[in-house]
Chains A and B, each alone.
Chain A
């Protein structure tokens, strides 16, 4: 299936290659680099490229291209999904996924890749299984390793792959047994010029951090499961119980994992926590314009809106801007994309933050046709905007009493205001 993997940095340099079948010359990447040259943005590179002898399937993630070489028919999503798993694995092991990190841990990355695929077919992609085979680096361990000469490769034989619950490693022991669940909801919305909602929906995810000894069997139930319209689960969740009783029953993996993602029924009206008043205009004659943006709280259920950030994608013909913000600070980036990032922070209903000032265009440039759109970012602690609530968490199969906790956060997802 997957023949080779190349990691390519944004400047087009290949800094890692790994082959699972016969070696494919790295010149095959030229087709990709050509397509990359043509594309304006890295995101615009087509994910599937057809070359005379191979097919190249690539993803762009964390400013890196993961490029895989395929020789025969294979579902493209299969490869794309796997490449994302590789990126997630690197992130999971080393805290971030970047060129420097990969170069620093070259040997370990190779070991991981070797275990993840066999002859191009995925072998071990579960984080729990991999961590049992190859231990992630910690500062303490690297010091110990240097002194004692032991290595990161687990020398105990792993059992995870053999059991019927491959996602959980055996023999887990903790002194503090704890299970935390974060219910994170994101609002995806498009608002039009007048502030009317064109489209809005809520996507949620339940992230879990479970550190429990032994083989705990957990059951999580919601107060109002009917809210959930469409769900997807981690493989550990027993689907049949969800179908019949609407409870999540599972033996969790050890550590951090995504338990479920859900979509809130679109029939329910989505509460939009903020409103944006904006006016951006360019004068017909002369080469400048005006920008005036005000953000205010709308339906916040009595919570404060934090971390508000407004990103304005300005036309490329903008030469300079001169703005004043009544609250927070703004930065202006005149790179490939001209953007203004206004970091507001906490919203104060008494004193609404406002950003205004003038824009000047390059001399002779025509008046931009489209007004720039605004992307809003925000965060509300202790609130799931859909109203979803966790009812209780029960544990079976182990004797001890775990410490349990649930946290709710609402964020803006792809929240766009058209102007």
Chain B
């Protein structure tokens, strides 16, 4: 462990954590350490775990750790990646420091390094790098290595979750990658499709057959995603294979005649067949998720006769881990309601073992109940008898419920079941008895006449049984069927009246109920008892009971004022009640796509895509055709995208047609290689593939080139060599040298840069004299050290915009010290400014004494080429990293033309701008000079960055409708992006 991490250790030394390391490093267990720290594997071994446990946040070490991003040692590097991705969100500015490393990695000749750079870059959740990510993804999507393209597909959902506004651009990339014909990419891109634009089902048409054919060779996880997506696709594009049978069922109920007239023979679409045929072998997958995915596909899409094949595979999954069993059983329970015959041969596989977890037992019971029919019910009931003896009482209760359901569904066994349940009434366990009572109550409702003896038996139980629900059920039964047991009923009421005050609320309500019913049927015997019960209820603590008593008294006891309703009291209370229908909780769950989380929860989960119903008439199957002729193809693609019957009209503008040329190229790529090489088992060698690819790329390039002849130097593009190909790739319409410059955007990253200064204060005394510092003129000041933290000394800085005379490559920073303390501050100087290489500082001369209440200003020069953060920081806004240059209008236009496509942003502003205000605001935000121009609608500014001298051009055009357009041209993309942000903010304030 020691040596590779020594590197990291050193970086911590460089930081301020000497206190960490004065303790010997202990490799103990890290019980109870802070959660934030858990991810920081780098620091586990470097820092004393106990320090971290004391609440030291690992993100403090961010700069020190991130510095190692370029480290040679792969393990340290990987750990730094883990750390970086984990904390980048909290330390956005610092995370930017690492970007240049990844940008360099994106250009590496080794495909694995390119892929890993893209992977980490896209995992950094910092909004400011969105354009960089977008560019990187676009580029990687047309990389010659399928592995890099796979990584690009992985990056798409990451970028989408970071900035959903990029959706349109991302869909273009997805469209391109969908056309990819390698198995490596297929799964990942469909995943991206599902996360970004699952509604764009039209993108699938052209790739449908290819996806079906590739499926068996895609890795397992990709298979799951593709199969689920194709299920949805098929539901929108094909006809219901069972429609004739379904119709038959419906029509049988109606008239027979119409059925014959309208019968149309169903012919399955060959593409539908293709899907079913190609997914079937995957039922043999070792991965339960794949098997489940195929099973749900067959359940939702296959003709009834073919669905049976999935049963065997699903039963096999029951051998797997209990969690897998749990999910599979849920789905089997739903399926077994609709297609019972399918699982009947496997009935015994659902038998319950005493060692199964309760939730599995209950689900198996559910399946067994669903599978019960006249032929197998006796076997099932025998099994149930065993289960009733179980020690697991929840399970016993569920079994009793199941028996009840079997009894209601299958008439023949109703009496047997009822007898069995009545026997259970003498069970010692109260829960069992209670559950039986509830179920018996439901069963009796179906045919009460024959079972007065059971009711009598249950009436006796009231003496012993204590479970409220069961007591209530018995009372309800006696009340409901009091005419069948005329002798017992009043006696029961007498007993209950005695114990009324000690009963539970539901029981009390049923006692009142019973009393009311008896009063209506047998008022001679029960009048007094009823009065008594109602009186007790009148003073009950529960308002529901008081309320019920009042209501019933009004209804049944005739008084002189009694309303019209009391006439109907008998009808109200003794109406014939319909028997309850005992249904499976899994009924109708199949409107959720099986195998999905939503199905499991029986509630729509976030991001769930509804499984559409079959269309009435099949959509045009020719959209899936992949044709060869170019002219036809162009029109085809457009139809597919617009879903309209006709191609684009001739009057389409240039921009639109250019946009559409892209997907066309994508599909042409897949067509030319349509020969099904996925079938061949032999492994393709990498070189072969890449050569093939690059050839394709060049072909493609040619086409792009021809189309964009005006902007592109096509001569470069026809070459085959690697490096040139890459370059032309990045920026389609730029000249070579600029391209290379743009690649290195972050090598000279300018914002943010930091400085370290330590001030010696003597003697420090806390005071609170409020004093404001008025910034000189237009300059914005930034706080370096607050008065309170500095114990009286406050430091502010501003960018004076004067050239720094000792060194023209430095930015002048004016630092203003204010001593608001009561004593004087001595010896103010910069001490040991620890600077990164490439960054330089010209210190200001030491200030010996700063008397109390005085303010002093000094100027120092800093070359912010690249740097690292320390205690206090000077953060220059991007606008200060440039200096104004003078240009004529013509020069400006010329330069602008050359840099056109490098960084351009268009934003709309409010209507309230005049030229003067714009000039003022822009110059405040950035150190630029105005370029004279004739029109007052347009303001132009020019400047160059101080360190590298790259040109920065800004123009603000005010439009007729009061809106304005801001254009920034800068070959350093990051500076450009940030400048747009800053100026935009300045203008909209």
- State the Cβ distance, A129 to closest chain B Cβ, in Å: 10
Task: For B288, give its contact among A81, A315, A370 (CB under 8 Å).
Answer: A81
- State the Cβ distance, B149 to closest chain A Cβ, in Å: 12
Indicate if the CB atoms of B289 and A110 lie closer than 8 Å.
no
Q: A145 CA to B323 CA in the complex, in Å?
A: 40
Indicate if the CB atoms of A23 and B86 lie closer than 8 Å.
yes
Indicate if the CB atoms of A19 and B39 lie closer than 8 Å.
yes
Residues of A within 8 A of B547 (CB): none
Q: A47 CA to B668 CA in the complex, in Å?
A: 46
* B38-76 contact mask (Cβ, 8 Å, vs A): 1 or 0: 110100110000000000000000000000000001110
Task: Confirm or deny: B808 has a beta carbon within 8 angstroms of a beta carbon on chain A.
Answer: no
* A102-128 contact mask (Cβ, 8 Å, vs B): 1 or 0: 010011001100100011011101000
Interface residues of A in 25-48 (CB under 8 A from B): 25-26, 40-41, 43-44, 46-48
Given A75-B224, A151-B73, A414-B355, A164 contacting B288 (CB threshold 8 A)? no
Q: A375 CA to B312 CA in the complex, in Å?
A: 26
* B259-298 contact mask (Cβ, 8 Å, vs A): 1 or 0: 0000000000000000000000100111111011100000
Residues of A within 8 A of B945 (CB): none
Indicate if the CB atoms of A80 and B154 lie closer than 8 Å.
no
- State the Cβ distance, B592 to closest chain A Cβ, in Å: 10
Q: A163 CA to B111 CA in the complex, in Å?
A: 13
Residues of B within 8 A of A418 (CB): 354, 386
* A385-419 contact mask (Cβ, 8 Å, vs B): 1 or 0: 00000000000000000000000000000101010
Indicate if the CB atoms of A106 and B41 lie closer than 8 Å.
yes
Q: A146 CA to B151 CA in the complex, in Å?
A: 34
Indicate if the CB atoms of B4 and A17 lie closer than 8 Å.
no
Residues of B within 8 A of A263 (CB): 312, 316
Task: For B355, give its contact among A163, A234, A416 (CB under 8 Å).
Answer: A416
Task: Confirm or deny: B653 has a beta carbon within 8 angstroms of a beta carbon on chain A.
Answer: no
Residues of A within 8 A of B315 (CB): 230
Interface residues of A in 148-163 (CB under 8 A from B): 148-155, 157-158, 161-163
Residues of A within 8 A of B158 (CB): 119
Task: For A17, give its contact among B38, B217, B289, B609 (CB under 8 Å).
Answer: B38
Indicate if the CB atoms of B607 and A73 lie closer than 8 Å.
yes
Residues of A within 8 A of B313 (CB): 230, 232
Residues of B within 8 A of A78 (CB): 221, 224, 289
Q: A16 CA to B3 CA in the complex, in Å?
A: 25
- State the Cβ distance, B297 to closest chain A Cβ, in Å: 12
Given A153-B78, A239-B281, A369-B428, A145 contacting B607 (CB threshold 8 A)? no
Indicate if the CB atoms of A370 and B39 lie closer than 8 Å.
no
* B5-28 contact mask (Cβ, 8 Å, vs A): 1 or 0: 010000000000000000000000
Task: Confirm or deny: A21 has a beta carbon within 8 angstroms of a beta carbon on chain B.
Answer: yes
- State the Cβ distance, B65 to closest chain A Cβ, in Å: 14
Q: Of B595-603, B825-833, B921-929, which stretch is located at the interface?
A: B595-603
Q: Of B131-139, B335-343, B680-688, B705-713, which stretch is located at the interface?
A: B680-688
Task: Confirm or deny: A286 has a beta carbon within 8 angstroms of a beta carbon on chain B.
Answer: no
Q: How large is the interface on A (under 10, 10 to 19, 20 to 34, 35 or more residues)?
A: 35 or more
Task: Confirm or deny: B837 has a beta carbon within 8 angstroms of a beta carbon on chain A.
Answer: no
Task: For B35, give its contact among A26, A40, A316 (CB under 8 Å).
Answer: A26
Indicate if the CB atoms of B595 and A17 lie closer than 8 Å.
no
Q: A277 CA to B155 CA in the complex, in Å?
A: 63
Indicate if the CB atoms of A238 and B681 lie closer than 8 Å.
yes
Given A47-B326, A230-B313, A77 contacting B359 (CB threshold 8 A)? no
* B93-114 contact mask (Cβ, 8 Å, vs A): 1 or 0: 0000000000000000011110
Given A50-B603, A103-B29, A163-B683, A75 contacting B355 (CB threshold 8 A)? no
Task: For B357, give its contact among A43, A61, A119, A313 (CB under 8 Å).
Answer: A43
Indicate if the CB atoms of B74 and A155 lie closer than 8 Å.
yes
Q: A340 CA to B391 CA in the complex, in Å?
A: 17
* A129-171 contact mask (Cβ, 8 Å, vs B): 1 or 0: 0000000000000000110111111110110011111100000
Indicate if the CB atoms of B316 and A19 lie closer than 8 Å.
no
Residues of B within 8 A of A198 (CB): 348, 351
Residues of B within 8 A of A261 (CB): 286, 316
Residues of A within 8 A of B326 (CB): 46-47
Q: A198 CA to B288 CA in the complex, in Å?
A: 27
B221, B601, B609 interface centre (most CB from chain A within 10 Å): B221
Indicate if the CB atoms of A77 and B327 lie closer than 8 Å.
yes
Residue in chain A with minimal CB distance to B158: A119
Given A163-B683, A190-B351, A258 contacting B286 (CB threshold 8 A)? yes
Residues of A within 8 A of B629 (CB): none
Interface residues of A in 47-93 (CB under 8 A from B): 47-48, 50, 55, 58-61, 70-78, 80-82, 84
Residues of B within 8 A of A61 (CB): 321
Indicate if the CB atoms of B600 and A76 lie closer than 8 Å.
yes
Q: A239 CA to B283 CA in the complex, in Å?
A: 11
Indicate if the CB atoms of B2 and A369 lie closer than 8 Å.
no
Q: A368 CA to B191 CA in the complex, in Å?
A: 55
Interface residues of B in 210-235 (CB under 8 A from A): 216-217, 219-221, 224, 228
Q: A235 CA to B222 CA in the complex, in Å?
A: 13
Task: Confirm or deny: B804 has a beta carbon within 8 angstroms of a beta carbon on chain A.
Answer: no
Q: A237 CA to B289 CA in the complex, in Å?
A: 18
Given A75-B224, A238-B681, A231 contacting B359 (CB threshold 8 A)? no
- State the Cβ distance, A103 to closest chain B Cβ, in Å: 6
Residues of B within 8 A of A145 (CB): 1
Task: For A114, give its contact among B82, B151, B609, B683 (CB under 8 Å).
Answer: B82
Given A44-B359, A73-B605, A198-B351, A369 contacting B78 (CB threshold 8 A)? no
Given A44-B357, A121-B191, A162-B111, A77 contacting B595 (CB threshold 8 A)? yes
Q: A199 CA to B184 CA in the complex, in Å?
A: 44
Indicate if the CB atoms of A70 and B597 lie closer than 8 Å.
yes
Q: A54 CA to B113 CA in the complex, in Å?
A: 35
Task: Confirm or deny: B532 has a beta carbon within 8 angstroms of a beta carbon on chain A.
Answer: no
- State the Cβ distance, A218 to closest chain B Cβ, in Å: 13
Indicate if the CB atoms of B321 and A19 lie closer than 8 Å.
no
Task: For A73, give its contact among B386, B390, B609 (CB under 8 Å).
Answer: B609
Q: A240 CA to B281 CA in the complex, in Å?
A: 8
- State the Cβ distance, B213 to closest chain A Cβ, in Å: 13
Q: A74 CA to B228 CA in the complex, in Å?
A: 10
B75, B123, B684 interface centre (most CB from chain A within 10 Å): B75
Q: A373 CA to B390 CA in the complex, in Å?
A: 10
Residue in chain A with minimal CB distance to B360: A43
Interface residues of A in 301-322 (CB under 8 A from B): 313, 315-316
Indicate if the CB atoms of B3 and A149 lie closer than 8 Å.
yes
Task: For B289, give its contact among A55, A75, A199, A373 (CB under 8 Å).
Answer: A75
Indicate if the CB atoms of B39 and A111 lie closer than 8 Å.
no
Q: A263 CA to B315 CA in the complex, in Å?
A: 10
Task: For B327, give its contact among A47, A234, A315, A370 (CB under 8 Å).
Answer: A47
Q: A107 CA to B228 CA in the complex, in Å?
A: 36
Task: Confirm or deny: A94 has a beta carbon within 8 angstroms of a beta carbon on chain B.
Answer: no
Q: A263 CA to B326 CA in the complex, in Å?
A: 20
Residues of B within 8 A of A199 (CB): 348-349, 351
Indicate if the CB atoms of A123 and B35 lie closer than 8 Å.
no
Indicate if the CB atoms of A119 and B220 lie closer than 8 Å.
no
Q: Could you pull out 23 A-B pairs where Cβ atoms are within 8 angstroms?
A: A17-B39, A22-B125, A43-B322, A48-B327, A50-B603, A73-B609, A75-B289, A76-B327, A77-B289, A107-B44, A107-B79, A111-B75, A111-B79, A118-B154, A149-B3, A150-B3, A162-B686, A190-B353, A203-B319, A233-B286, A243-B281, A366-B428, A370-B389
Closest 4 CB pairs of A and B: A149-B3, A72-B607, A151-B75, A73-B608
Given known contacts A17-B35, A154-B74, A373-B353, what 4 new A-B pairs fall within 8 Å (CB)?
Answer: A75-B224, A125-B221, A233-B286, A416-B353
Residues of A at the B interface (CB closer than 8 Å) are 1, 16-19, 21-23, 25-26, 40-41, 43-44, 46-48, 50, 55, 58-61, 70-78, 80-82, 84, 103, 106-107, 110-111, 114, 118-119, 121-123, 125, 145-146, 148-155, 157-158, 161-166, 188, 190, 192, 198-199, 201, 203, 229-235, 238-240, 243, 258, 261, 263, 313, 315-316, 366, 368-371, 373, 375, 414, 416, 418
